[in-house]
Amino acid sequence: MLRYLIILLAVLAPLNASAISPEEVMKSSQAAFLYQGKDFKARVTMRLLSSAGSERIRELTMLRKNFGAAGSEQKYFIYFYQPADVKDMTFMVYKRPGKESDRWLFVPALNMVRRIAARDKSSSFAGSDFTYEDVSGRNTEDDTHVITKEEKLGPSDCYVVKSAPKAGDMDYSYKVSWIDKKSFLPLKEEYYDKRDELYRIFTADEIKEIKGFPTVTKRTMKNLQSGHSTEAAFTRVDYNMGVDDSLFSERYLKNPPKKWIE
């Protein structure tokens, strides 16, 4: 019986797919890309490449915990290994949908935790080409979405979704995403500036299945105008480790528990 049901679903799948709304595509994508599992951990190595060819390294451990379904609150805990002069720096983000995130930073040189208010939209994540929004996601309701076409990107069938911010306060005028129909991961994103010229490209370069969750383990953000690019590699990825709520506190920012940051 189950077998037939699966066959039936498989037959119906394309029909379902074409009936899906752009909002649903983006919501599913958000869930697949940024809300997978109850919690998540990775060692992130970012290579920041300048147009002149020089390279800088950022190495950090990122922990994330969901508080609710996709699109709802999340907390991030970040511990820096590199560059050397910021070793032991920690960083915490409370992401609240529809509001600017709250961020706290522990500055080891001053042995001091500071709250930081900054704009997620445009500010760079640790000096890379990724913005905070690129790392933690954007509220899907802030944009109007249109499926412009469905096409293959490499071997994968994708929805191509054009998302334009409802408010005009973004650096870009719209974004085009290639969303994998199977995993709902974004495989590519193109950002167009206010002259409608392509200026930023995100690509998912490697996808691995970890604990059953397809995960983008290598990604690149390239800024065509400045010539900068950032490659981020995720290693030691894990899900559903049972991270305590108490980790996301000022106390642990100063003394991050070894078990979580390694």
Binding footprint of other proteins on the chain (CB under 8 A): 48, 50-52, 54-56, 83, 85-86, 89, 91, 105, 107-110, 112, 114-119, 122-129, 169, 171, 193-195, 199, 225-226, 228
Nearest to 215 by CA among 189, 243, 186: 186
8 A C-beta contact, residue 57 and residue 82? yes
Distance CA 16, CA 159 (A): 13
Q: DSSP code of 212?
A: T
* CB 45 to other proteins: min, Å: 16
CB of 246 to other proteins, least distance (A): 22
For the bound state, the minimum distance from the C-beta of residue 124 to other proteins, rounded and expressed in Å, comes to 5
Q: Which is nearer to other proteins, 88 or 150 (CB)?
A: 88
Residue pair 222/205 in contact by the 8 Å Cβ criterion: no
What's the min distance (Å) between Cβ of 193 and other proteins?
6
C-alpha to C-alpha distance for 197 and 172, rounded to whole angstroms: 9
| Residue number, 79 or 178, with CB nearest to other proteins | 79
Say how far apart CA 138 and CA 144 lie, in whole Å. 12
For residues 164 and 173, the answer to whether their CB atoms sit within 8 Å is yes
Give the residue with the Cβ less far from other proteins, 136 or 240: 136
Closest CA relative to residue 165, chosen from 46, 26, 29 = 26
Nearest to other proteins of 121, 188 (CB atom): 121
CB of 249 to other proteins, least distance (A): 16
Q: 2 vs 117, which CB is nearer to other proteins?
A: 117
